[in-house]
Amino acid sequence: MAAILKRNDKILQREKSALLVIDIQEKILGVMHNPDQVVKNALKLIKGFKTLNIPIFYTEQYPKGLGPTAAPLLEELEGLSPVQKMSFSCYGAGNFFTRLQDNKVEQVVVCGIESHVCVQQTVLDLLANNFQVDVAADAISSRKDLDYRIALDRMKSHGAEITTSESILFEFLVDSDTEEFREVSKIIK
């Protein structure tokens, strides 16, 4: 009798995923390590998720003080409203986690800033609430490289999947014989 083969359950699936863009705001972005890389890869994710029709959420930490989300991202996020928060973790942003659950989201792709504060605390809280979390390592940052690296290690040690924006998008595509593949390929180049 032949063995039944299966795919790894950690591979991202459109019908149960969402993108969470955390606090990529104008006033703090400039002091981040590799800010251009963060914006470029966050844009790839946003455009890819839009192409694939996967839900997108974004947050703003204390927008009165830190300003709005960076302009290039806001342009792509048109039509969506930010989840505004004062807490570092998105856990403290009202009913945000409940909204994810109500929308049948089980896998959350995370990008944003700062790696060791809002991103890390959110990731740890998502994991504590039984979400699979995929962190786009090329779309998060901190002011200091050490904080970024330690945050990646800590999130991974608690069960987060550490990956890249391109890898994330290709997981959703599954194969290359589709119009979506051609569209996403243009986005990642």
Domains of the chain, start order: 14-188 (3.40.50.850)
pLDDT score of 20 more than 80: yes
CB distance 121 to 89 below 8 Å: yes
Strand partners, 134: 109, 161
Q: Which of the four pLDDT bands, split at 50, 70 and 90, describes residue 180?
A: confident
Lowest mean pLDDT segment, chosen from 12-21, 39-48, 65-74: 65-74
pLDDT > 90: what percent of the chain? 83
pLDDT of residue 3: 82
More confident call, 156 vs 179 = 156
Q: Which of the four pLDDT bands, split at 50, 70 and 90, describes residue 177?
A: confident
pLDDT of residue 118: 96
Strand partners, 22: 59, 112
Tokens 């060791």 label which residue? 116
Question: Distance between CA atoms of 187 and 44, rounded to whole angstroms?
Answer: 6
CB distance 125 to 90 below 8 Å: yes
169 residue type, one letter: L
CA 27, chain centre distance (Å) = 20
How far is CA 24 from each of CA 6, 7, 79, 80, 84, rounded to the nearest angstrom? 37, 34, 17, 15, 12
CA-closest candidate to residue 14, choices 106, 124, 111, 119: 106
> What mean pLDDT, rounded, does the chain reach?
94
**Crossing angle (nearest 10°) for helices 165-173 and 35-51:** 10
Q: What is the pLDDT of residues 27-53, one digit of tens each?
A: 999 899 999 999 999 999 999 999 999
pLDDT score of 157 more than 90: yes
Q: Which of the four pLDDT bands, split at 50, 70 and 90, describes residue 144?
A: very high
CB distance 169 to 187 below 8 Å: yes
More confident call, 111 vs 92 = 111
